[in-house]
Amino acid sequence: MSNRQISTKQQHKQYGIFYHSVNLSIMTSSFNKKGLHMKYKGIIFDLDGVICHTDKYHYLAWKQLADKLGIYFDEKINNRLRGVSRMDSLEIILENYNGSLTATEKENYSEEKNNIYKRLLEDMSPSDLSKEVKDTLDQLKEDGLKLAIGSSSKNARYILEQLGLEGYFDAISDGNNIEKSKPDPEVFLKACEYLGLSPKECLVVEDAKSGLEAAIEGGMDQAAIGDAVYTQLATYDLATFSDLLKCIR
């Protein structure tokens, strides 16, 4: 079942969610088992900042390394690291470094940061997964949607395990299966491939500008949450995670 969506740049409000634009595309829509019309067949979630809040751990780990190297680092710089791979994050931090590092030193420092980060992740548990997020994910599954993770992190599977979500998602595309991190669309295109769906059949949920840009480039619709809302780039802006349920019908 498909329907042609008419191009419009008009912003309008529906169910309390702002639609910035409607894609100039032929969207494939479908009906689920309960006969409900679904706009998407799959949802791809960024992990850090969407499903859970590991940003604070990334900040603490990078801060410890930056302090050791005498590099100025604050929360504002940390925000630029969202969705960006570990090595690219180090390069951003090194913008404030008066000196140069060899490739091996960079490898060693990024590993050092990761060891600090992983020690902090040990404290994560299923109690770090909010009820709202879990209930919404369960409802989306109930509605027949396929769910995937699309994260630049190489620690994504460990984080999911810590949250009690091991084996929960239909597909995981993460830092271990990509060459380029967001804003390159590779991580989301791989997630679509793993789900067996086309980009047009999927919605991406993101808290980072780099992630929204990746989804736009990849040809998926996007739902922004958290700070990503201020970019005004996304198809939908979510005030809260459960608003997602209003975007899919």
Of 178 and 208, nearer to Mg ion (C-beta) is 208
Among 58, 146, 157, 209, binds ligand G6P (CB under 6 A): 58
Catalytic residue among 46, 55, 184, 237: 46
- For 201-234, letters b (16+ CB in 10 Å) and e give bbbbbbbbbbbbbbbbbbbbbbbbbbebbebebb
What is the identity of the amino acid at 226? G
Instruction: Evaluate the CA torsion angle 33, 23, 186, 65 in order and state its sign.
Output: negative
| Residue 21 CA: distances (Å) to CA of 13, 26, 204, 222 | 11, 14, 15, 11
The answer to whether 46 is a known catalytic residue is: yes
Among 84, 137, 191, 192, binds ligand G6P (CB under 6 A): 84
212 token code pair: 């929204």
* 155 labelled binding-site residue: yes
Q: How far is the CB of 208 from Mg ion (least distance, A)?
A: 5
* 181 labelled binding-site residue: no
Of 38 and 189, nearer to ligand G6P (C-beta) is 189
Please tell me whether residue 173 binds ligand G6P under the rule CB under 6 A.
Answer: no
The answer to whether 128 is a known catalytic residue is: no
Instruction: Evaluate the CA torsion angle 38, 152, 163, 53 in order and state its sign.
Output: negative
Beta-bridge partner residues of 202: 42
**Which one, of 225, 227, 223, 226, lies nearest residue 248 by Cα?**
223
Please tell me whether residue 207 binds Mg ion under the rule CB under 5 A.
Answer: yes
Q: How far is the CB of 104 from Mg ion (least distance, A)?
A: 29
Of 83 and 199, nearer to Mg ion (C-beta) is 83
Please tell me whether residue 209 binds ligand G6P under the rule CB under 6 A.
Answer: no
Q: Binds 173, which of Mg ion, ligand G6P, none (CB < 5 to 8 A, cut-off by type)?
A: none
Please tell me whether residue 5 binds ligand G6P under the rule CB under 6 A.
Answer: no
Q: How far is the CB of 175 from ligand G6P (least distance, A)?
A: 4
Please tell me whether residue 81 binds ligand G6P under the rule CB under 6 A.
Answer: yes
**Which one, of 37, 10, 31, lies nearest residue 22 by Cα?**
10
What is the identity of the amino acid at 209? K
Task: Output helix, strand, coil percentages for the chain, rounded to the nearest 5.
Answer: 45, 15, 40
Q: How far is the CB of 48 from Mg ion (least distance, A)?
A: 4
Among 38, 45, 77, 83, binds ligand G6P (CB under 6 A): 83
* DSSP 8-state code for residue 8: B
The contact set with Mg ion (CB under 5 A) reads: 46, 48-49, 82, 207-208
The contact set with ligand G6P (CB under 6 A) reads: 48, 58, 81-86, 89, 114, 151-155, 175
Binding residues for substrate: 46-48, 62, 81-86, 89, 113, 151-155, 182
